[in-house]
């Protein structure tokens, strides 16, 4: 499989952008404030999946939302899209997109925004496409919904989009059904669908976890290129800091529904301060590690948590745990260039570099050099 | 695909053979004294009954009778009715349009009402509309066809007088016969009043006959839609900002129809058995009412012939449904 070439359909995603009003620099495109999501039908005990989460995404900015399964990242993204189940999900807080409150927006307003302004790529390409509808139709329908295009124009555009995401022989593929495509191809189709209307914000929910490692790199590359081309802002949801390293400007690390560390990529990789972030970084296998060295893991499982009301949720798994961690819930406070929720942050001696005790002590700027070590190999590197 | 069809057709042979044996034994084990008594009445002398039995060979050993029957079937002779002497094959195809028209109307009613109801129930799962639909379908599936038919006739024809109580068309209406389908004939010959008359006559029987299939279709649709609503691709469709209608039709119903279409094929058997009662109640001169008379008169050749024809039709219809399945679901398209 060849990487998508820029020749065909390179202009596909850039036309029609001129009519959009440019947004001023620091005004956030999307602002999530104090978002909490609880699940539970009437009469049942509610479970809090997302707990007072706040973050901003500025136009064109790439933000990572990182955490293990169950940390609330996907629920956060579904809350932004307004796709949480209507029954049993209780959402509070504020989500504003260009100043508009999404949580109070009507059904019609949300469906105008979805696919057009905010689009999403889902985790599992095997189940995210309709098995009984040709992919051309699944692509064209989002275009005809949000653009004034005739059927044949929409079809042409669908073909161009397929070409753009690197699917060979796109005209023929339009008539094919999802089961005739490989997983990587299907995820390309889903990326094409999400970017078909050049959204201002793309939410990618672990877009590569269901794919082969080799295909992951290719798909990520396609995503990266198209996001750059359309100047869309990106909310990248992943448990893989390697993905973040190559893609994101800012990173929010979530644990058990709350943000525990939030900072720029270079600060995070250069000097992780939350023990959980440090653990995630250490658990990435490194190419320069000596052969035969066992992989590092965070002990315990994400289900082994303390309720945030009683202390730090990460305490049961934390190597730095002290008594106050189990009695005193830490607040998200500013620590220099970052927001941190920890009583006893890493001081650098537990830096992420195996054997490199001095890593954390280096000035943050030096961290930029560090993070490249975590990046996934991409085709650019090859 | 041709191979698939041929294989399915070949499979019908042992099924029909088995059916013919069961049928043969079943009609002869019906309680009563057999066709001669029904034909001649209670006051017939034993000698005359014996003469009839001898004439039709009913005194011969069962195996001999069976082999003789199969032999005549293979020669293309489907025998004649003991009661009226008419060839079984002729009356079957004469009466077929009546029953097919009624069954299609019933099926149409069941599908057109059942699928939307099932969809609504699934969308409002656990809430009032769902409860109403589910209890309604339970009532529908539990009501015997003949009871519902009589009830509808009583209320809408006899009490309210809104709809005709009997026959396919008002007696004496001068309708031209072309295909035997009353509504279709009316349209073809531009006798629209006759067509409308036939539609009015069809309404009550179709509702009576269609209620059980309706209840089943509602149930299957509800379960199937509820399952599809949980699918990732429905979420994808919603994330595109598609209109509710588009999501419902293209993404939810299209997938939810897969199990429903199979069920619809299986309803055909239900329709034929229900037609026996419905046609009798509403005095339709179709296969059902003729079969009803054949049962009460122990008309062996008619019973055997009709039920075998119905079995053949049932198998063929389900073969067609299976082939149509591939039209809805590209994944199971049979390779040519």
CATH code at position B304: 1.10.3720.10
| HSE, side-chain direction, 13 A CA sphere, residue A15 | 8
10 Å CB burial of residue B65 (0-12, 13-18, 19+) is middle
Residues in chain B, pLDDT under 50: 336
- A and B: number of Cβ contacts within 8 A: 81
Q: Cβ of B174 under 8 Å from any chain A Cβ? A: no
Confidence of residue A374 (pLDDT cuts 50, 70, 90): low
Quote the pTM value.
0.81
Which of A110, A111, A177 is closest, CB to CB, to B330? A177
Q: Is the pLDDT of residue A1 over 60?
A: no
Q: Is the pLDDT of residue A289 over 90?
A: no
Top residue of A43, A107, A132 to mutate, by most chain B CBs within 10 Å, is A132
Q: What is the mean pLDDT of chain A?
A: 82
Same domain, B64 and B166: no
Work out whether strand A89-97 and strand A30-39 pair parallel, antiparallel, or are unpaired. antiparallel
Contacts of A111 in chain B (CB under 8 A): 241-244
Name which of B306, B125, B273, B98 is nearest B185 in CA terms.
B98
Q: Is the pLDDT of residue A35 over 90?
A: yes
Confidence of residue A362 (pLDDT cuts 50, 70, 90): very low
Confidence of residue A244 (pLDDT cuts 50, 70, 90): confident
pLDDT of residue B118: 95
Query: In whole angstroms, what is the distance from residue A265 CA to residue A234 CA?
Result: 14
Q: Using an 8 Å Cβ cutoff, are B194 and B173 in contact?
A: yes
> Has residue B59 been placed in a domain?
yes
Same domain, B63 and B178: no
pLDDT of residue A350: 46
Map tokens 């149509």 to a residue: B324
SS3 A39: strand
> Has residue B13 been placed in a domain?
no
Query: In whole angstroms, what is the distance from residue B288 CA to residue B271 CA?
Result: 10
> Has residue B169 been placed in a domain?
yes
Q: Is there a contact between B254 and A132 if contact means CB atoms under 8 Å apart?
A: yes
Last residue of a domain, one of B15, B47, B77: B77
> Has residue B142 been placed in a domain?
yes
Contacts of A42 in chain B (CB under 8 A): none
| HSE, side-chain direction, 13 A CA sphere, residue A240 | 19
> Has residue B198 been placed in a domain?
yes
> Has residue B2 been placed in a domain?
no
Distance from CA of A241 to the nearest CA of B (A): 25
pLDDT of residue A19: 43
Crossing angle of helices B192-229/B145-152, nearest 10°?
130
Confidence of residue A251 (pLDDT cuts 50, 70, 90): very high
A194, closest residue in chain B (CA to CA): B240
Same domain, B71 and B183: no
Q: Using an 8 Å Cβ cutoff, are A146 and A116 in contact?
A: yes
Same domain, B52 and B119: no
Q: Is there a contact between A145 and B240 if contact means CB atoms under 8 Å apart?
A: yes
Distance from CA of A227 to the nearest CA of B (A): 17
**How many folded domains does chain B comprise?**
2
Provide the residue range defining the domain that includes B266.
88-332
Q: Using an 8 Å Cβ cutoff, are B300 and B55 in contact?
A: no
Which of A114, A119, A128 is closest, CB to CB, to B233? A128
CA distances for B14 relative to A16, A184, B19, angstroms: 66, 47, 8
Q: Cβ of B243 under 8 Å from any chain A Cβ? A: yes
The residues with which A119 forms a beta bridge, in sequence order, are: A202
pLDDT of residue B107: 94
Across residues A201-223, what is the average pLDDT? 87
pLDDT of residue A5: 43
Same domain, B152 and B283: yes
Q: Cβ of B322 under 8 Å from any chain A Cβ? A: no
Sheet of A89-97, strands arranged across = A47-57, A30-39, A89-97, A100-101
Same domain, B72 and B166: no
B233, closest residue in chain A (CA to CA): A128
Same domain, B104 and B233: yes
| HSE, side-chain direction, 13 A CA sphere, residue A110 | 19
Across residues A67-82, what is the average pLDDT? 89
pLDDT of residue A21: 44
> Has residue B25 been placed in a domain?
no
Which positions ≥6 away from B99 have C-beta within 8 Å?
B272, B275, B279, B284, B286, B287, B288
Sheet of A201-205, strands arranged across = A118-121, A201-205, A233-238, A62-66, A250-255, A258-264, A338-340, A333-335
Pick the CATH number of A30-239 from 3.10.20.30, 1.20.120.1200, 3.40.50.2000, 3.40.50.300: 3.40.50.300
Which positions ≥6 away from B297 have C-beta within 8 Å?
B35, B38, B39, B82, B83
Task: Return phi, psi of residue A277, to 5°.
Answer: -60, -45
Map tokens 């296969």 to a residue: B287
Which positions ≥6 away from A107 have C-beta within 8 Å?
none
Which of A110, A130, A177 is closest, CB to CB, to B237? A130
pLDDT of residue A40: 86
pLDDT of residue A346: 86
Work out the angle at residue B257's Cα, subtended by the Cα atoms of residues B254 and B262, and round it to the nearest 5 degrees: 145
Query: In whole angstroms, what is the distance from residue B333 CA to residue A132 CA?
Result: 11
H-assigned helices in B35-181: 35-40, 46-56, 62-74, 88-123, 128-142, 145-152
Across residues A203-212, what is the average pLDDT? 87
Q: Is the pLDDT of residue A378 over 80?
A: no
pLDDT of residue A215: 85
Q: Where are the beta strands (DSSP E) in A126-257?
A: 201-205, 233-238, 250-255
Q: What is the mean pLDDT of chain B?
A: 89
Domain ranges of chain A: 30-239, 252-374
Query: In whole angstroms, what is the distance from residue B115 CA to residue B119 CA?
Result: 6
Contacts of B254 in chain A (CB under 8 A): 130, 132-133
Query: In whole angstroms, what is the distance from residue A202 CA to residue A57 CA?
Result: 11
Contacts of A113 in chain B (CB under 8 A): 241
Which of A115, A127, A141 is closest, CB to CB, to B233? A127
Same domain, B72 and B219: no
What confidence tens digit (pLDDT) does each residue in A294-333 have? 888 888 887 788 888 888 999 999 888 898 899 899 999 9
pLDDT of residue B236: 94
In DSSP notation, B55-73 reads: HHTTTS-HHHHHHHHHHHH
The residues with which A203 forms a beta bridge, in sequence order, are: A120, A235
B326, closest residue in chain A (CA to CA): A132
Q: Is the pLDDT of residue A92 over 90?
A: yes
Which positions ≥6 away from B239 have C-beta within 8 Å?
A81, A83, A114, A115, A119, A120, A122, A194
CB atoms within 10 A of CB B82: 22
Q: Is the pLDDT of residue A80 over 90?
A: yes
Same domain, B40 and B164: no
What confidence tens digit (pLDDT) does each residue in B57-99 have? 888 888 999 999 999 988 988 888 888 889 999 999 999 999 9
Name which of A78, A289, A265, A116 is nearest B232 in CA terms.
A78
Q: How many residues are recorded in chain B?
A: 336
Q: What is the 3-state secondary structure (H, E, C) of A272-322?
A: CCCHHHHHHHHCCCCCCCCCCCCCCCCCCCCCCCCCCCCCCCCHHHCCCCC
B244, closest residue in chain A (CA to CA): A111
Across residues A2-26, what is the average pLDDT? 47
Q: Cβ of B328 under 8 Å from any chain A Cβ? A: yes
pLDDT of residue A339: 92
Confidence of residue A353 (pLDDT cuts 50, 70, 90): very low
Q: What does the buried/exposed string (b/e) look like for B245-255 if buried means 16 or more CB atoms within 10 Å of the residue's CB?
A: ebbbebbbbbb
Q: Cβ of A109 under 8 Å from any chain B Cβ? A: no
pLDDT of residue B138: 92
> Has residue B19 been placed in a domain?
no
Tell me which of A150-159, A237-246, B235-244, B300-309 is least confident.
A237-246
């Amino acid at each position: 499989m060849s990487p998508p070439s820029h020749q065909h359909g390179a202009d596909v995603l850039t036309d029609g952008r001129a009519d959009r009003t440019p947004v001023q620099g620091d005004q956030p495109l999307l602002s999530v404030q104090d978002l909490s999501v609880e699940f539970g039908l009437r009469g049942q005990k509610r479970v809090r999946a997302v707990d007072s989460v706040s973050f901003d995404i500025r136009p064109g900015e790439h933000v990572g939302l990182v955490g293990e399964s169950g940390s609330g990242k996907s629920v956060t993204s579904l809350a932004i899209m307004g796709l949480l189940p209507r029954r049993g999900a209780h959402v509070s807080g504020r989500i504003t997109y260009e100043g508009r409150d999404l949580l109070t927006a009507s059904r019609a307003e949300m469906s105008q925004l979805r696919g057009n302004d905010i689009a999403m790529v889902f985790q599992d390409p095997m189940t995210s496409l309709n098995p009984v509808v040709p992919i051309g139709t699944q692509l064209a329908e989002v275009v005809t919904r949000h653009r004034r295009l005739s059927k044949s124009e929409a079809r042409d555009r669908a073909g161009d989009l397929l070409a753009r995401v690197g699917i060979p022989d796109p005209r023929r593929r339009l008539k094919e059904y999802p089961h005739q495509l490989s997983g990587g191809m299907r995820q390309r189709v889903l990326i094409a669908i999400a970017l078909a209307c050049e959204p201002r914000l793309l939410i990618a929910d672990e877009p590569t976890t269901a794919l082969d490692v080799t295909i992951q790199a290719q798909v990520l590359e396609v995503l990266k290129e198209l996001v750059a081309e359309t100047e869309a802002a990106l909310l990248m949801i992943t448990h893989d800091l390697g993905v973040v390293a190559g893609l994101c400007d800012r990173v929010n690390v979530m644990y058990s529904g709350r943000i525990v560390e939030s900072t720029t990529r270079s600060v995070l990789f250069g000097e992780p301060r939350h023990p959980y972030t440090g653990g995630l970084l250490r658990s990435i296998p490194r190419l320069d590690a000596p052969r035969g060295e066992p992989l590092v893991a965070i002990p315990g499982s994400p289900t082994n948590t303390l309720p945030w009301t009683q202390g730090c949720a990460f305490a049961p798994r934390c190597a730095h745990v002290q008594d106050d961690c189990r009695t005193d819930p830490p607040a998200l406070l500013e620590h220099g260039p970052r927001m941190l929720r920890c009583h006893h942050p890493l001081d650098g001696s537990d830096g992420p570099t195996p054997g490199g005790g001095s890593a954390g002590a280096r000035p943050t700027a030096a961290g930029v050099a560090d993070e490249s070590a975590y990046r996934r190999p991409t085709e650019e590197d090859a | 695909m041709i191979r698939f069809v041929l294989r399915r057709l070949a499979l019908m042979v042992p099924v029909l053979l088995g059916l013919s044996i069961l049928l043969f034994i079943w009609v002869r084990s019906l309680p009563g004294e057999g066709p001669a008594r029904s034909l001649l009445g209670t006051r017939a002398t034993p000698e005359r009954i014996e003469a009839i039995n001898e004439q039709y060979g009913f005194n011969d050993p069962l195996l001999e009778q069976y082999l003789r029957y199969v032999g005549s079937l293979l020669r293309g002779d489907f025998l004649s009715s003991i009661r009226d002497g008419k060839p079984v094959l002729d009356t079957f195809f004469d009466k077929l349009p009546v029953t097919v028209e009624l069954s299609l109307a019933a099926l149409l009613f069941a599908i057109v009402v059942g699928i939307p109801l099932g969809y609504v129930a699934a969308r409002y799962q656990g809430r009032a509309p769902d409860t109403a639909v589910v209890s309604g379908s339970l009532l529908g599936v539990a009501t015997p066809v003949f009871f519902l038919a009589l009830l509808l006739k009583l209320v809408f024809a006899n009490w309210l007088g809104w709809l005709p109580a009997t026959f396919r068309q008002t007696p004496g209406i001068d309708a031209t016969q072309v295909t035997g389908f009353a509504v279709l004939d009316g349209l073809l010959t531009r006798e629209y009043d006759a067509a409308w008359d036939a539609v009015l006559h069809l309404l009550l029987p179709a509702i009576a006959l269609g209620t059980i299939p309706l209840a089943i279709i509602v149930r299957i649709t509800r379960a199937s839609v509820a399952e599809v609503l949980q699918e990732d691709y429905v979420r994808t469709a919603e994330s595109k900002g598609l209109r509710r209608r588009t999501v419902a039709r293209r993404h939810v119903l299209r997938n939810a129809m897969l199990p429903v279409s199979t069920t619809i094929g299986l309803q055909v058997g239900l329709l034929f058995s229900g037609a026996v009662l419905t046609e009798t109640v509403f005095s339709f001169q179709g296969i059902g009412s003729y079969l009803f008379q054949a049962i009460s008169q122990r008309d062996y050749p008619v019973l055997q012939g009709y039920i075998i024809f119905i079995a053949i039709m049932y198998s063929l219809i389900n073969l067609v449904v299976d082939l149509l399945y591939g039209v809805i679901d590209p994944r199971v398209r049979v390779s040519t």
